[in-house]
């Protein structure tokens, strides 16, 4: 939260205090009175997110491990994005799924050929929210946007944008506002599926149910689109 706040781009609630007590952790944030979004709020949020994604580091990962929901999220500092995403995101989630007795057809073919989906594309390590779905954004009483509940790390900016599509909550003005500041590169439509596979696997590991079918469908689609 503090690192997002320090970018002076998209607004986030101020961290008042955090710590541990009686074997539990706590976090106290600034209270924000929610209101109705202004007419240009989504476009404004898209532009602010683009500017936040321009905050870069010389490595992918984070200063420490964190969580995505209740799932541990490893963030080793890594120079190569494909290696980071393969080992610290996909394989990590596949391993958790296997512990629950779930295997996925095509997992090996996908993971062994992951670099093929990045031919001609070299992402920079951008500061990410990490869990940017509609429920983690809001609007204050002035109608201006803010975001909260991050699972931040430095990664491909497309990973943030991909998740905004998974559950909706962001309209065309949001994407127009983003691309007006930081246009996307070709191939995003396929990489979007790859990045949301991580969340589909995570949701299976957290909640089970039909998320396994969603993940399998994404794997099948990605394999069909391997060069």
Sign of the four-CA dihedral 220, 162, 132, 169 = negative
Determine phi and psi for 73, rounding to 5 degrees: -125, 105
**Residue 39 burial class via C-beta count within 10 angstroms: exposed 0-12, middle 13-18, buried 19 and up:** exposed
| Pairing mode of beta strands 137-139, 153-155 | unpaired
Dihedral Cα 18, 126, 187, 86, nearest 10 deg: -60
Residue 131 known to be catalytic: yes
What H or E segment, with its residue span, contains residue 24?
strand 24-29
CA atoms within 13 A on the CB side of 118: 19
Least Cα distance to 128 among 104, 154, 102 occurs for 154
Candidate list 11, 131, 149, 160, residue with the active-site label: 131
Q: Which residues are catalytic?
A: 131
């Amino acid at each position: 939260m503090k690192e997002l706040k320090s970018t002076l781009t998209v607004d986030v609630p101020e961290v008042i205090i955090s710590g541990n007590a009686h074997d539990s952790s706590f976090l106290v944030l600034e209270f924000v009175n929610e209101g109705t979004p202004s007419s240009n709020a989504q476009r404004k949020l898209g532009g602010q997110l683009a500017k936040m994604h321009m905050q870069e580091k010389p490595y992918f990962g984070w200063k420490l491990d964190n969580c995505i929901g209740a799932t541990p999220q490893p963030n080793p500092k890594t120079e190569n994005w494909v290696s980071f995403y393969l080992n610290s995101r996909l394989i990590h989630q596949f391993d958790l799924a296997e512990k629950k007795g779930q295997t996925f057809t095509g997992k090996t073919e996908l993971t062994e050929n992951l670099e093929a989906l990045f031919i001609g594309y070299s992402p920079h390590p951008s500061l990410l929210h990490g869990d940017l779905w509609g429920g983690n954004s809001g609007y204050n009483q002035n109608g201006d946007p803010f975001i909260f509940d991050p699972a931040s790390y430095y990664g491909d900016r497309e990973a943030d944008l991909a998740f905004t599509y998974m559950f909706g909550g962001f309209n065309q003005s949001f994407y127009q506002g983003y691309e007006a500041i930081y246009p996307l590169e070709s191939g995003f439509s396929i990489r979007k599926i790859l990045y949301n596979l991580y969340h589909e696997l995570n949701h299976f590991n957290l909640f089970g149910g039909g998320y396994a079918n969603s993940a399998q469908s994404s794997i099948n689609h990605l394999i069909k689109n391997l060069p």
